[in-house]
């Protein structure tokens, strides 16, 4: 049997996206985000997107660039920086529609969509203000003797999922080598199309002999395309390939202080293609090293 080669490019992925789509982005906070794909969206003309995410800088960057209409999230955080400044500013300006759910509710919504169900019952969200903040939500009563009232979490159906893996093959099988799979497999299963970026494309045989078999998180039946993007999760972490770039993340966070700071950051790091971005990051670190050495002297 001949297995389809699903390899493509970041721009090839973005060419499949359309205004108004609902896009799910995997990872967790500032960890293993498909940032090369996010940066490709920033370079595009796409607008009015709905984003579903356990949010990190993917949400902040797309909000700052005016790409989003709505965000569905369990949280938006940079981990070591508690709040993404660009997302916070967009919320304060009232620029975004939002659906703010409990983390477990987002999980239930993804599971429902992956199973092609209209909703799943969950206890997550009960006893909180989530129901008041999302008046479209409703509850259901268990049909069994317990009669328990549960939140009916609607399916979070995605047009497209974007996730990042440590390794993948050209067929679209994906492997994580870090400590946590997050919910990238559910994002892909919940989507009509799913695109995987990875630190390195390898053979299927190598996937089977690298790490434990449970680390093979994605199978090709849920993958539409796969892209090799070395350091493509930067500046988020993608262990063991690389940790989060904390100095650069602080630089990003500082770009939220003013419109001028954001414009300077965007021109310095986001005005070119992915290769230009990686070179600008290298120059940023080289400059920081030179300044540190000068202080020592």
* Contact present, 38 and 58 (Cβ < 8 Å): yes
Asked whether residue 290 carries a pLDDT value surpassing 70, the answer given is no
Q: How confident is the model at residue 72 (pLDDT cuts 50, 70, 90)?
A: very high
The confidence score (pLDDT) of residue 287 equals 83
The confidence score (pLDDT) of residue 153 equals 98
* Contact present, 151 and 142 (Cβ < 8 Å): no
The confidence score (pLDDT) of residue 296 equals 53
Q: What is the pLDDT of residues 198-238, one digit of tens each?
A: 999 999 999 988 777 679 999 999 999 999 999 999 999 99
Q: How confident is the model at residue 175 (pLDDT cuts 50, 70, 90)?
A: very high
Please give the helix or strand (H or E) that residue 138 lies within, else none.
Answer: strand 138-141
Q: What is the pLDDT of residues 105-155, one digit of tens each?
A: 999 999 999 999 999 999 999 999 999 999 999 999 999 999 999 999 999
* Contact present, 120 and 89 (Cβ < 8 Å): no
The confidence score (pLDDT) of residue 289 equals 66
Domain 10-118+155-240 has CATH 3.30.565.10: no
Across 231-260, b (16+ Cβ under 10 Å) vs e yields: bbbbbbbbbebeebbeebbebbbebbeeee
Which residue in 4, 24, 67, 2 sits closest to 196, CA to CA? 24
Q: What is the pLDDT of residues 249-278, one digit of tens each?
A: 999 999 999 999 999 999 999 999 999 999
Rounded to the nearest 5°, which phi and psi values hold at 64? -65, -35
CA distance 22 to 173: 23
Which residue in 234, 293, 227, 230 sits closest to 269, CA to CA? 234
Average pLDDT, the chain: 95
């Amino acid at each position: 049997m001949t297995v389809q080669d699903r390899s493509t490019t970041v721009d090839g992925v973005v060419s499949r996206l359309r205004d108004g789509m609902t896009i799910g982005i995997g990872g967790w906070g500032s960890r293993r985000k498909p940032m090369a794909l996010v940066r490709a969206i920033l370079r595009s003309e796409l607008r009015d997107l709905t984003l579903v995410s356990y949010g990190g800088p993917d949400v902040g960057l797309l909000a700052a660039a005016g790409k989003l209409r709505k965000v569905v999230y369990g949280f938006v955080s940079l981990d070591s920086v508690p709040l993404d400044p660009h997302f916070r500013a967009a919320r304060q300006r009232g620029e975004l529609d939002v659906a703010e759910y409990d983390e477990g509710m987002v999980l239930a919504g993804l599971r429902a969509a992956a199973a092609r169900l209209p909703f799943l019952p969950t206890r997550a969200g009960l006893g909180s203000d989530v129901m008041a903040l999302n008046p479209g939500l409703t509850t259901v009563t268990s049909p069994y003797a317990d009669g328990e009232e549960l939140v009916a979490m609607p399916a979070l159906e995605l047009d497209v999922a974007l996730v990042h893996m440590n390794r993948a093959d050209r067929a679209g099988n994906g492997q994580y080598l870090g400590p946590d799979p997050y919910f990238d497999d559910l994002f892909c299963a919940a989507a009509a199309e799913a695109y995987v970026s990875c630190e390195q494309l390898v053979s299927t045989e190598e996937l089977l002999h690298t790490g434990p078999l449970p680390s093979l998180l994605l199978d090709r039946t849920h993958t539409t395309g796969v892209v090799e993007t070395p350091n493509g999760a930067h500046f988020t972490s993608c262990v063991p390939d690389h940790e989060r770039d904390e100095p650069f993340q602080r630089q990003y966070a500082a770009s939220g202080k003013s419109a001028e700071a954001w414009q300077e950051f965007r021109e310095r790091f986001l005005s070119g293609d992915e290769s230009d971005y990686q070179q600008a990051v290298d120059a940023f670190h080289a400059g920081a090293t030179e300044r540190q050495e000068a202080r020592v002297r």
